[in-house]
Amino acid sequence: MAASERRRIGVMGGTFDPIHHGHLVAASEVQSWFDLDEVIFVPTGQPWQKADRAVSPPEDRYLMTVIATAANPRFQVSRVDIERRGPTYTIDTLRDLSRQHRDADLYFITGADAMAAILTWRDHDELFELAHFVGCTRPGHELDEKTLEGLPADRVTLVEIPALAISSTDCRQRVQKGEPVWYLVPDGVVQYIGKHRLYHREDSP
Ligand SMILES: Nc1ncnc2c1ncn2[C@@H]1O[C@H](COP(=O)(O)OP(=O)(O)OP(=O)(O)O)[C@@H](O)[C@H]1O
Ligand SMILES: O=C(O)c1ccc[n+]([C@@H]2O[C@H](COP(=O)([O-])O)[C@@H](O)[C@H]2O)c1
């Protein structure tokens, strides 16, 4: 199949605990930059580099991701990582998605922090054979030529996106302190967090 006939699919991996507008803007910007047919959000099953802290159940993170992306016809959510047993490795995510989408080129979307850590990921040499990597700017994290050292230049693109200084950590802490997360995360996600008492202190009503 000629390259021009192939579909282009973005893959936005994340723990999404919870998903916030920083994730959604990154996916939307990269969709537009690369004229992607769709972006598949892939919530992690067991994020091994976050093993030092409690992570919400995969099903909650999956459902919040579905709620957050439901209105955008180009956004989809995949269960491949939450259904695979054991720690989540992007090499497995990309192998599974390439099998499911043989007619497509994959673009893996990351923020600057994740991009800078990519050489610590499992089988990182092989990752670039399975997808093009797109690193998005993120407030508080450098994304410059130094980040690219050791990465194959023809398989990595850095893009500047509107700066949103939002993190899932900050959202969780706000809920725990009883502070609002309205407008940091989509409305439906605020409601899901409240309904399922995610991130609330045990003793709060
Ligand atoms: N505000 C943001 N701007 C750009 N990229 C982001 C932003 N927040 C997260 N990302 C990127 O989205 C992907 C998934 O991030 P993740 O689900 O770990 O969210 P997080 O906010 O970094 O979470 P936490 O604070 O719990 O570590 C990563 O590649 C991360 O770099
Ligand atoms: O493959 C790995 O070894 C690996 C190590 C850390 C993170 N990742 C992926 O990077 C994405 C963002 O991860 P996180 O932990 O910042 O939410 C997500 O898709 C993870 O599966 C992948």
pLDDT tens column, 61-82: 999 999 999 999 999 999 999 9
C-alpha span between 7 and 190 (Å, rounded): 34
CA of 12, closest atom in ligand 2 = 19
Q: Specify the pLDDT at position 138.
A: 92
Q: Specify the pLDDT at position 1.
A: 59
**pTM for this entry:** 0.97
How much is the ipTM here? 0.99
List, as one string, the DSSP characters of the chain.
--GGGSEEEEEEEE--TT--HHHHHHHHHHHHHTT-SEEEEEE-SS-GGGTTS----HHHHHHHHHHHHTT-TTEEE--HHHHS-SS--HHHHHHHHHHHTTTEEEEEEEEHHHHHTGGGSTTHHHHHHH-EEEEEPBTTB--SHHHHTTS-GGGEEEE--------HHHHHHHHHHT---BTTB-HHHHHHHHHTTTT--TT--
Residue 181 has pLDDT above 90, yes or no: yes
11 ligand 1 Cβ < 6 A: no
Query: What integer best gives the mean pLDDT of the chain?
Result: 94
Going along the chain from its start, the domains and CATH numbers come out as 7-164 (3.40.50.620)
78 CB neighbour count, 10 Å cutoff:
20
116 ligand 1 Cβ < 6 A: no
pLDDT tens column, 138-162? 999 887 777 788 899 999 999 999 9
Q: Specify the pLDDT at position 78.
A: 98
Residue 171 has pLDDT above 90, yes or no: yes
Return the closest-CA partner of residue 92 out of 29, 36, 146, 45: 45
95 ligand 2 Cβ < 6 A: no
Query: Rounded to the nearest whole angstrom, what is the distance from the C-alpha of residue 172 to the centroid of ligand 2?
Result: 19
90 ligand 1 Cβ < 6 A: no
The count of residues in the chain is 205
